[in-house]
Chains A and B, each alone.
Chain A
Amino acid sequence: EPEVTQTPSHQVTQMGQEVILRCVPISNHLYFYWYRQILGQKVEFLVSFYNNEISEKSEIFDDQFSVERPDGSNFTLKIRSTKLEDSAMYFCASSDEPSAEAFFGQGTRLTVV
């Protein structure tokens, strides 16, 4: 069964460092998303991406965040200068249509120290 894969599963980084979280969406999907889940809280939308550009972004997705689809398979989230409050699980998701079933990866746990 096709699935969304994310790497790494866990990343520990120093405050102020840049991190890149990687995702391989399901191959025939066209809509890609990043979500965040702070420990014990609900899943929150960060950004959606379609046709090689950002479609929507939330207030959380400030200038420190960027996304890229560097090739035909990978989808990345970069945090330029990490803050302690960026510590969370980051989930990549993809869907074949908007407003449809989104399939999530297993997540990257980011710990900023």
Chain B
Amino acid sequence: GQQLNQSPQSMFIQEGEDVSMNCTSSSIFNTWLWYKQDPGEGPVLLIALYKAGELTSNGRLTAQFGITRKDSFLNISASIPSDVGIYFCAGPDYGGSQGNLIFGKGTKLSVKP
């Protein structure tokens, strides 16, 4: 079935640094979603991408939908301690008809003040 591979698995950075993480798939996705999960909480949608090549920003976050439709990246600029959490990419499973999402395994971000 469809799978999403995220890298890196974890990152440990200094406050103020920029961060880049990516998500790849062996099959095409027509939608890419990026979520952040804080410990003990549900995933919170950060950015949604719907078109190949699309570059979308949300504050210090920028995400791009790869032109091959098989990858996406998320950048965080000037990281702050509250950026700590797990970042998941997700996309609709087209084996199903109602858009149930497939998630990557996540990138765990730690920020040192």
A99 in contact with B31 given A45-B100, A48-B100 (CB within 8 Å): yes
Contacts of B93 in A (CB 8 A): 45
Determine the chain B residues whose CB is within 8 A of the CB of A104 once the complex forms: 35, 42-45
Tell me the nearest residue of chain A to B90, going by C-beta.
A43
Which chain A residues have a beta carbon within 8 Å of chain B's beta carbons?
4, 6, 31, 33, 35, 41-45, 48, 50, 55-56, 58, 91, 95, 97-107, 109
Task: Tell whether A100 pairs with B42 under 8 Å between CB atoms, given A42-B88, A42-B105, A42-B106.
Answer: no
- Contacts A99-B30, A99-B92, A100-B31 hold; do A48 and B42 have CB atoms under 8 A apart? no
- Separation of A80 and B60 alpha carbons in the complex (Å): 45
* B residues in contact with A4, CB < 8 Å: 42
Query: Are the C-beta atoms of A103 and B105 separated by less than 8 Å?
Result: no
Q: Please state if A91 and B42 are interface contacts (CB–CB under 8 Å).
A: yes
Closest 5 CB pairs of A and B: A98-B99, A99-B99, A104-B42, A55-B98, A56-B96
Question: How far does the Cβ of A1 sit from chain B's closest Cβ, in whole Å?
Answer: 11
Residues of B within 8 A of A58 (CB): 100
